[in-house]
């Protein structure tokens, strides 16, 4: 079965999360992704933990389906140049300024091969006072206002996942796909730049606009939504249920669940703005009604009324989520330490199974790649 990116070769001088996340999506679509790693050490994400069959949970998530070649990019340019010469896409997220010093920047590489799609990922982008500043996920969360928008009134908090890296990787991935599409029509490659501050900044636009034009500081409301109510956790007789009301029609339906249809016309709660302003009183009313039922009963009532709701699950519980199991969304893939189960990519294409290749050991493909592309023995 052919794959959408079959025949596309990607060379990635990458580490950590953002760039590997982008290139793994390309591998899932059938591209050949050759991952260049430091001799003896490799991508430093390999050392983040040892929780998945002795491998890093970050690394197995981000690097399935790739080929790993150990290569000293400063002193073994013959092989690297040979790889780039046959690449359709080159991706790098080296330290600020390193690509230029090594001649791996877009201007240098595309001068030789205008059809090359070159993607550079950085923390803060070229120019400006932050150009050379190192950037990691938490630090970009701080700089974009995310940390100050998350948590409780007493304590701001980071997001629980590498959200700045993921945002950046997704924009790099979509940018590369766009450039490949354009190249099909024009024959010309592209030089792409994706900065973490720009990627996460796009995702932070709503709270930024809300604060700037509403002229108020961020509302840190824990697991509740800062500007929609009721939206978040509510106690029941034996635990919590999360629910979300998005409009006045759903609010009226929820009042029916509570057995109090007159509440929909209470001026304290008649619009979302009113409900947010009187959130504490509204929460007390809901929880008093829910106290007569256990969580499962409340969920049943909410489902019948068409009110969105959710159970609070741990990440481990997510791996056995009944919806994912019923839809057969897990696949066994190989890792250097043994088989694991990985989640299928989010986009389903009818009649086509994603590649879902194995996670490579460090340097697993070095000899084969040297034999194929040439270059002296290390």
Respond yes or no: is residue 341 known to be catalytic: no
**3-state per-residue secondary structure call for the chain:** CCCCCCCCEEEEECCCCHHHHHHHHHHHCCCEEEEEECCCCCCHHHHCCCCECCECHHHHHHCCCEEEEECCCCCCHHHHHHHHHCCCEEEECCCCCHHHHCCCCHHHHHHHCCCCEEEEEECCCCCCCCCCCCCCHHHHHHHCCHHHHCECCCCECCCCCCHHHHHHHHHHHHHHHHHHHHHHHHCCCEEEEEEHHHHHHHHCHHHHHHHHHHCCCCCCCCCCCCCCCCEEEEECCCCEEEEECCCHHHHHHHHHHCCCHHHHHCCCCCCHHHHHHCHHHHHHHHHHHHCCCCHHHHHHHHHHHCCEEECCCCHHHHCCCHHHHHCCCEEEECCCCCCEEEECCCCCECCECCCCCCCCCCCCCHHHHHHHHCCCCC
Residue tagged active-site, from 15, 225, 321, 365:
225
Q: Catalytic site residues?
A: 225
């Amino acid at each position: 079965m052919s794959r959408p990116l079959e025949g596309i070769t990607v060379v990635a001088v990458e580490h950590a999360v953002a760039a590997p996340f982008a290139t793994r999506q390309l591998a899932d679509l059938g591209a050949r992704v050759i991952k260049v790693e430091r001799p003896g050490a490799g991508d430093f994400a390999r050392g983040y933990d040892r929780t998945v069959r002795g491998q890093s949970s970050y690394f197995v998530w981000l690097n399935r389906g790739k080929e790993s070649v150990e290569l000293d990019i400063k002193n073994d340019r013959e092989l690297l140049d040979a790889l780039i010469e046959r690449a359709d896409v080159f991706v790098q997220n080296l330290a600020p300024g390193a690509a230029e010093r090594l001649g791996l920047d877009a201007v240098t590489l595309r001068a030789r091969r205008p059809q090359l799609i070159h993607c550079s990922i950085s923390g803060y982008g070229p120019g400006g006072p932050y150009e050379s500043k190192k950037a990691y996920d938490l630090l970009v969360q701080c700089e974009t206002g995310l940390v100050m928008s998350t948590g409780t009134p007493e304590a701001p908090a980071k997001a629980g996942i590498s959200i700045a890296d993921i945002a950046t990787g997704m924009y790099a991935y979509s940018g590369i796909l766009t450039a490949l599409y354009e190249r099909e029509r024009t024959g010309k490659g592209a030089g792409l730049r994706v900065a973490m501050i720009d990627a996460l900044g796009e995702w932070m636009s709503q709270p930024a606009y809300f604060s700037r034009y509403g002229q108020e500081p961020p509302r840190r409301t824990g697991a509740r939504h800062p500007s929609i109510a009721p939206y978040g956790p509510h106690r029941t007789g034996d635990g919590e249920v999360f629910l979300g009301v998005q409009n006045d029609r759903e609010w009226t339906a929820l009042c029916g669940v509570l057995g109090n249809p007159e509440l929909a016309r209470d001026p304290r709660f008649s619009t979302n703005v009113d409900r947010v302003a009187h959130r504490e009183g509204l929460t007390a009313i809901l929880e008093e009604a829910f106290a007569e039922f256990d969580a499962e009963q409340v969920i049943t009532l909410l489902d019948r009324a068409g009110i969105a709701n959710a159970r609070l699950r741990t990440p481990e519980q997510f791996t056995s989520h009944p919806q994912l199991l019923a839809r057969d969304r897990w696949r066994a893939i190989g890792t250097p330490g043994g088989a694991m189960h990985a989640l299928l990519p989010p986009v389903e294409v009818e009649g086509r199974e994603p590649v879902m290749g194995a996670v490579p050991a460090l340097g697993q493909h070095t000899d084969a790649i040297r034999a194929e592309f040439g270059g002296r023995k290390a």
